[in-house]
């Protein structure tokens, strides 16, 4: 049995796979084209977001029996093509949910207190206090869109801040807790001061947060996106910042994260983002911690063992 690992992983994952009897090829720099050329001999494949498990790849992998996704996003796996070939697939959202939640909180506190902006000003020799007067998180109403692993983890972290938490999930019911109110989009539109996106990327959620969505809020909001770039239409965010519908935004993800491939339209919206002091950008690192790297490895191994012999 052979496993191909196409991205950086914790050494524990390699060790555990070897103990399970797999021959492991660790190739974190492999390209999609190179993967196509070698996938024939593998029974297992571990990916992050670089390799798309497409129908094309699966056609070249008749011996493939399972695919493990490092992290949560299943948009990089053609699940229908896998089902047609009886290839098992699984992800590991439990591994980095706390990391994502803490990053979302960090972005939010930064925005509320003008931390990045004032830091940059001080380093330029500017000592500006009144213009950097912040807002307290306490007393705010926070709308969480999608209440899966990261949405729930974010809610748990917010418990100590004396906030009202409204959570909406189209496909989950009965998840309301003493610190979370199960809500509707309409209630979030009406009451939220802050909105945090925790959506998977699907055909249904692609550009869900568009002009109409952002214009539906009754109050100006702070917006956090640590989910997937394409659930948010960037041009709609820029327009909402200009109109005052959005006060500021923290983005860990972008529609296109390969900056060197931007077309002219993408260059324009990216230029608008980096020039706006109300925007904080991080390079898709919300789930990227020392601890999550090990936890993801543990979840992958646990899931693989759960399938029995593959």
2-91 maps to which CATH number?
Answer: 3.40.50.720
> Is pLDDT of 310 > 60?
no
Using a CB cutoff of 8 Å and minimum separation of 24, what contacts does 207-214 make? 207/231, 207/232, 207/233, 209/145, 209/233, 209/236, 209/237, 210/236, 211/236, 211/239, 211/240, 214/239, 214/240, 214/245, 214/246
- Predicted confidence band at 38 (pLDDT cuts at 50, 70, 90)? very high
- CATH topology of 2-91 equal to that of 97-281? yes
State in Å, rounded, how far the first CA of the chain is from the last one.
9
Residue pair 25/65 in contact (Cβ under 8 Å)? The answer is no
Q: Per-domain residue ranges for the chain?
A: 2-91, 97-281
- Predicted confidence band at 45 (pLDDT cuts at 50, 70, 90)? very high
| Catalytically annotated residues | 228, 257, 284
Q: 97-281: what fold?
A: Rossmann fold (3.40.50)
Q: Please, how many CA atoms are within 13 Å of residue 149, restricted to the half-sphere of its CB?
A: 17
User: Per-residue pLDDT averaged across 130-153, rounded?
Assistant: 97
User: Per-residue pLDDT averaged across 274-291, rounded?
Assistant: 97
DSSP 198-261: -----TTTTT-BSHHHHHT-SS-EEEEE-S-GGGB-HHHHHHHHHHTSEEEEEES--S---GGG
pLDDT at 37: 95
pLDDT digits (tens, 9 = 90+) for 69-102: 999 889 999 999 999 999 999 999 999 999 999 9
- Predicted confidence band at 308 (pLDDT cuts at 50, 70, 90)? low
pLDDT at 283: 97
């Amino acid at each position: 049995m052979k496993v191909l690992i196409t991205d950086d992983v914790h050494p524990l994952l390699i060790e555990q796979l070897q103990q399970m009897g797999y021959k492991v090829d660790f190739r974190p720099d492999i390209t999609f084209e190179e993967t196509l050329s070698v996938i024939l001999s593998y029974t297992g494949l571990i990916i992050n977001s670089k390799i798309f498990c497409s129908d094309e790849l699966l056609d070249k992998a008749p011996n493939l029996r399972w695919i493990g996704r490092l992290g949560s996003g299943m948009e990089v796996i053609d699940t229908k093509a896998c089902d047609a070939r009886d290839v098992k697939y699984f992800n590991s959202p439990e591994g980095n949910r706390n990391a994502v939640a803490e990053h979302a909180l960090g972005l939010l506190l930064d925005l509320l207190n003008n931390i990045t902006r004032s830091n940059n000003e001080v380093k330029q020799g500017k000592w500006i206090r009144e213009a950097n007067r912040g807002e307290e998180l306490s007393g705010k109403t926070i709308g969480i869109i999608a209440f899966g692993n990261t949405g729930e983890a974010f809610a748990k972290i917010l418990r100590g801040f004396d906030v009202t938490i409204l959570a909406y999930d189209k496909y989950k019911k009965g998840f309301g807790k003493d610190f979370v109110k199960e809500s509707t989009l309409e209630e979030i539109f009406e009451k939220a001061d802050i909105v945090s996106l925790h959506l998977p990327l699907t055909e249904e959620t692609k550009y869900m947060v568009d002009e109409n969505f952002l214009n539906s809020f009754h109050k100006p909001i702070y917006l956090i996106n640590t989910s997937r770039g394409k659930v948010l239409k960037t041009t709609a965010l820029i327009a909402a910042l200009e109109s005052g519908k959005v006060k500021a935004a923290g983005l860990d993800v972008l529609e296109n994260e390969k900056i060197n491939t931007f077309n002219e339209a993408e260059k324009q919206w990216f230029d608008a983002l980096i020039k706006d002091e109300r925007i904080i950008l991080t390079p898709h690192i919300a789930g990227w911690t020392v601890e999550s790297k090990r936890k993801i490895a543990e979840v992958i191994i646990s899931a693989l063992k759960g399938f029995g012999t593959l």
